[in-house]
Structure 1
């Protein structure tokens, strides 16, 4: 009898790339039926674009909203779970990348086993919430996250396992982003208002980016930030802005940029799959040096004034050789870069768990 495994896609499109490789890998197996559940037809179409053979069973959930469908503005996750409870609860194993689904555990009689693939590989303390403890199995990208999950008491040695970072398998290829040959700086501010370099300091950062000499700039805020703030505009020919597109989530920019500018986004680890210069904006003067939530700031220059950016970029090439070893070590700790593809490792962990749960 085939094993039924459902992937719940109620989060925005940027999270799809974290679970889709494992779903596609499981879909190759004759003894597994893989179902994808989403209230968004656009999300299901995105999934289908990576599944030309149609191995995945795409299920459109009822949509608790009359707003237009969108890759980046999905209806309330809790409302979606409530409206579709029966359709979701019939599956013995459910895989997700968001933690609102942990609410299902509070419904009397809910017997589905929940698997969380943690999306991202960052250091921010906000990645560790009590709801993480409600999952039956958690798959993380690397040993760093496993240590921290166990240390926070959110997992145990047996139900938190390392599966790598499958998003790398779907990353866009390196390509020119501008018509000239100037190096490209990617600015990637986070959405957390207490940590983001843009929320309180946007005008100063934009002024520094406009004043840059010798660099092109891609401004690609985290899609959660992009939908919460007024659109960012610039008429400077060396600046391009992406407030939310497929390029902003498929690693087009982290693959193709030459230097990274940010604050606390885990996208820095996607950028560092190839060691390159990083600059971090500490415009709120955080006491970061002994704080593991800012561990990635040790992988580049940290500046506390936006107008120090040009100087930091001018120094970047000379400083980078001294940072490569630290960047590579941090990457290996954050993301297990095994020769075995992460999609295969995650699929094996999910299948093993599902077989035991369905036995």
Structure 2
């Protein structure tokens, strides 16, 4: 008997890297067929780069002519058009909560599994009731499970800690600048209420232009829309508003210092403890707030003109932050002798009937 599982690749490319290792692991197992359903051929080509043996059965489900890595047809339209197809699969796996609207269809009886993408503190969305509609939620570490259960968005039984399989796709750092100056990654969040980009981004880039002893990568979250159109011709600044390198951990692996606000890429950077600087541009009273627990892992500044001093002190202060970073990582991302992709695959199969 065959186990049939579909992965819904309806979101932008940055989410695919959180489910791909599990899909590839499942496709290796005897008696399991894994289909990937995606409305974007550009995204299917991207997924194919990680599947040279073509273990996955990639299926294009055309919806409308929007075919970029980060510009896809509206999910609601895709879900409505292909509801008949999705409900043919006993198990559907996704990384985004919008797929819970499939359960509004009285004919839909499939098991719906969510792999949480990211491990950020402020982006956990404990106010999203759709999360509790999943039959199973897979999270990176105990922190997310604890917070989701406390918020009533799941139970001890249907939220499982499986680790962070995206780490299995890490590649060696690339040479991004023609010199060996240390690199700072500025990675602002996409949401205006969390991001430093909208009110401090331009000033930060102007400040970076003066700090020629450093190289800077300015890589906002790929979903950041609107806000200032910041450009720079400075040789020490690379601005990336959305590319594969901005999502595949190239930048988090190459940087010496992380500069950000609320992005979960922080935890991808902290796979190796290094100095962090956080921009509290909204002047939030963050002390004691779980959504900003990561602010304890580095220096906190409020204005662009404080950047130089923070960078001058980054290496000196790192010994006091490193134990906190290591503790936070253990809580955010569970480490195990078994790869996260294998743990995710086991959990998915536990809900997968044979057809």
Q: TM-score, with normalisation over the residues of structure 1?
A: 0.96
- Partner SS for 2:199: coil
Return the alpha-carbon distance in structure 2 between the equivalents of residues 281 and 258 of structure 1.
17
* Alpha-carbon RMSD: 1.2
Contact persistence 1:36–1:57 (CA under 8 A): yes
- Partner SS for 1:116: strand
Deviation larger for 232-241 or 204-213? 204-213
| Residue matched to 1:33 | 33
Where in structure 2 are the equivalents of 1:305-320 lying within 5 Å?
305-320=303-318
Unpaired runs of 5+ residues, structure 1, are: none
Contact persistence 1:185–1:259 (CA under 8 A): yes
| Residues 134-165 of structure 1 deviation map (CA, whole Å, 9 limit, x = unaligned) | 10000000000000000100000100000110
Where in structure 2 are the equivalents of 1:18-57 lying within 5 Å?
18-57=18-57
Contact persistence 1:72–1:223 (CA under 8 A): yes
Return the alpha-carbon distance in structure 1 between the equivalents of residues 203 and 230 of structure 2.
13
Deviation larger for 91-100 or 198-207? 198-207
- Partner SS for 1:30: coil
Contact persistence 1:162–1:336 (CA under 8 A): yes
Query: C-alpha displacement at 1:231, in angstroms?
Result: 4.2
Where in structure 2 are the equivalents of 1:139-288 lying within 5 Å?
139-225=138-224, 227-229=225-227, 231-288=229-286
Query: C-alpha displacement at 1:126, in angstroms?
Result: 5.2
Unpaired runs of 5+ residues, structure 2, are: none
When the two structures are aligned, how many residues end up with a matched partner?
354
Query: C-alpha displacement at 1:228, in angstroms?
Result: 3.3
Query: C-alpha displacement at 1:230, in angstroms?
Result: 5.5
Return the alpha-carbon distance in structure 2 between the equivalents of residues 160 and 200 of structure 1.
37
- Partner SS for 1:312: helix
| Residue matched to 1:303 | 301
Return the alpha-carbon distance in structure 2 between the equivalents of residues 211 and 132 of structure 1.
45
Return the alpha-carbon distance in structure 2 between the equivalents of residues 74 and 157 of structure 1.
34
| Residue matched to 1:79 | 77
- Partner SS for 2:113: strand
| Residues 2-33 of structure 1 deviation map (CA, whole Å, 9 limit, x = unaligned) | 10010000000000000000000001012100
Return the alpha-carbon distance in structure 2 between the equivalents of residues 274 and 287 of structure 1.
28
| Residue matched to 1:113 | 111
Return the alpha-carbon distance in structure 2 between the equivalents of residues 127 and 169 of structure 1.
26
Structure 1 residues 152 and 125, CA gap change in structure 2 (3 angstroms): farther
Return the alpha-carbon distance in structure 2 between the equivalents of residues 277 and 220 of structure 1.
18
Structure 1 residues 83 and 342, CA gap change in structure 2 (3 angstroms): same
- Partner SS for 1:224: coil
Q: Runs in 1 of length 4+ with deviation above 6 angstroms?
A: none
Return the alpha-carbon distance in structure 2 between the equivalents of residues 228 and 173 of structure 1.
32
Query: C-alpha displacement at 1:49, in angstroms?
Result: 1.4
Structure 1 residues 126 and 336, CA gap change in structure 2 (3 angstroms): closer
Query: C-alpha displacement at 1:200, in angstroms?
Result: 2.1
Return the alpha-carbon distance in structure 1 between the equivalents of residues 43 and 258 of structure 2.
28
Return the alpha-carbon distance in structure 1 between the equivalents of residues 49 and 194 of structure 2.
35
Query: C-alpha displacement at 1:232, in angstroms?
Result: 2.9
| Residues 105-142 of structure 1 deviation map (CA, whole Å, 9 limit, x = unaligned) | 11112101100000000101553311101100000000
| Residue matched to 2:86 | 88
| Residue matched to 2:13 | 13
| Residue matched to 2:335 | 337
